[in-house]
Amino acid sequence: MSGDELADALALADGRRHPAAVPGPGPGPESGRAPGHPEEEAGAGHRRGHTDWPRARAAAAAAGASRRPPESVTVSLAEALGHRLAAPLTALTDLPAFDTSAMDGWAVSGPGPWELAADGGPGVLAGTDDPAPLPDGRAVPIATGARVPPGTTAVLRSEYGEVVGRRLCLPRGTSRDSSRVPSHGTDIRPRGQECRTGDELLPAGTPVTPAVLGLAAAAGRDGLPVARRPRAEVLVLGDELLTSGPPRGGRVRDALGPMVGPWLTALGAEVTAVRRLGDDAAALDAALAGTAADVVVTTGGTATGPVDHVHPALRRLGAELLVDGVAVRPGHPMLLARLPGGALLVGLPGNPLAAVSGLLTLAEPLLRAVPGTAPGTAPGDRPADPPPRNTTADTTADTALPTAPLLEEVHGHPRDTRLVPVVQDGRGVRPLRFAGPAMLRGIATATALAAVPPGGAATGAGVPLLRLPWA
Ligand SMILES: Nc1nc2c(c(=O)[nH]1)N[C@H]1C(S)=C(S)[C@@H](COP(=O)(O)OP(=O)(O)OC[C@H]3O[C@@H](n4cnc5c(N)ncnc54)[C@H](O)[C@@H]3O)O[C@H]1N2
Ligand code: MOO
- pLDDT band for position 445 (cuts 50, 70, 90): very high
3 touches ligand 1 (CB under 6 Å): no
Q: What is the pLDDT of residues 375-413, one digit of tens each?
A: 443 333 333 333 333 333 333 443 579 999 999 999 999
Domain 403-467 fold is: Beta-clip (2.40.340)
- Residues in a beta bridge with 116: 139
What separation in Å is there between the alpha carbon of 300 and the centre of ligand 1?
6
Helix, strand, coil abundance in the chain, percent, nearest 5: 20, 25, 55
Q: 53-69+229-243+251-369 architecture in CATH?
A: 3-Layer(aba) Sandwich (3.40)
**Every domain of the chain and the residues it spans:** 53-69+229-243+251-369, 77-93+194-227, 100-189, 403-467
What is the number of the ligand 1 atom nearest to the C-alpha of 301? 20
Q: Of 2.40.50.60, 2.170.190.11, 3.30.565.10, 3.40.50.2300, which CATH number belongs to 100-189? A: 2.170.190.11
Which of 7-11, 14-18, 169-173, 270-274 has the lowest average pLDDT?
A: 14-18
Instruction: Determine phi and psi for 232, rounding to 5 degrees.
Output: -125, 140
Indicate the pairing of strand 335-338 with strand 428-431.
Answer: unpaired
- pLDDT band for position 234 (cuts 50, 70, 90): very high
Tell me the mean pLDDT in the region 97-122.
91
What is the number of the ligand 2 atom nearest to the C-alpha of 437? 4
Tell me the mean pLDDT in the region 94-99.
97
How far is the C-alpha of 366 from the C-alpha of 373, rounded, in Å?
Answer: 10
What separation in Å is there between the alpha carbon of 260 and the centre of ligand 1?
16
What is the number of the ligand 1 atom nearest to the C-alpha of 332? 12
pLDDT for the residue 372:
66
* Predicted confidence (pLDDT) at residue 196 exceeds the cutoff of 90: yes
- pLDDT band for position 255 (cuts 50, 70, 90): very high
240 touches ligand 1 (CB under 6 Å): yes
Q: Which amino acid is it at 86?
A: A
352 touches ligand 1 (CB under 6 Å): yes
Q: Whose CA is nearest to atom 32 of ligand 1?
A: 350
Q: Which one has a higher pLDDT value, 158 or 392?
A: 158
Q: What is the DSSP string of 207-228?
A: B--HHHHHHHHHTT-SEEEEEP
What separation in Å is there between the alpha carbon of 33 and the centre of ligand 1?
19
Q: What percent of the chain has pLDDT over 70?
A: 84
Contacts for 153 with CB less than 8 Å, ≥ 6 apart:
108, 109, 110, 182, 184, 185
Q: What is the pLDDT of residues 356-379, one digit of tens each?
A: 999 999 999 999 998 766 544 333
What is the number of the ligand 1 atom nearest to the C-alpha of 254? 36
Cα 217 to chain centroid, rounded: 23
Q: Which one has a higher pLDDT value, 471 or 380?
A: 471
Mean predicted lDDT score pLDDT of the chain: 86
What separation in Å is there between the alpha carbon of 306 and the centre of ligand 1?
12
Q: What angle do CA 387, 393, 394 make, to 5 degrees?
A: 115
Closest ligand relative to 354 C-alpha: 2
Contact 72, 225 (CB under 8 A): yes
How far is the C-alpha of 350 from the C-alpha of 352, rounded, in Å?
Answer: 6
167 touches ligand 1 (CB under 6 Å): no
Indicate the pairing of strand 223-227 with strand 72-76.
Answer: antiparallel
261 touches ligand 1 (CB under 6 Å): no
Q: 77-93+194-227 architecture in CATH?
A: Alpha-Beta Complex (3.90)
What separation in Å is there between the alpha carbon of 436 and the centre of ligand 2?
8
Contact 278, 308 (CB under 8 A): no
C-beta neighbour count of 166 within 10 angstroms: 12
What is the number of the ligand 2 atom nearest to the C-alpha of 351? 4
Question: What secondary structure letter does DSSP report for 394?
Answer: -
* ipTM value: 0.98
Q: What percent of the chain has pLDDT over 90?
A: 75
What separation in Å is there between the alpha carbon of 189 and the centre of ligand 2?
62
User: Alpha helices, DSSP H only, in 267-362?
Assistant: 281-289, 310-317, 352-358
How far is the C-alpha of 161 from the C-alpha of 180, rounded, in Å?
Answer: 9
pLDDT for the residue 39:
53
* Predicted confidence (pLDDT) at residue 455 exceeds the cutoff of 90: yes
- pLDDT band for position 46 (cuts 50, 70, 90): very low
pLDDT for the residue 266:
92
Tell me the mean pLDDT in the region 216-229.
96
Q: Is the C-alpha dihedral spanning 435, 440, 446, 449 positive or negative?
A: positive
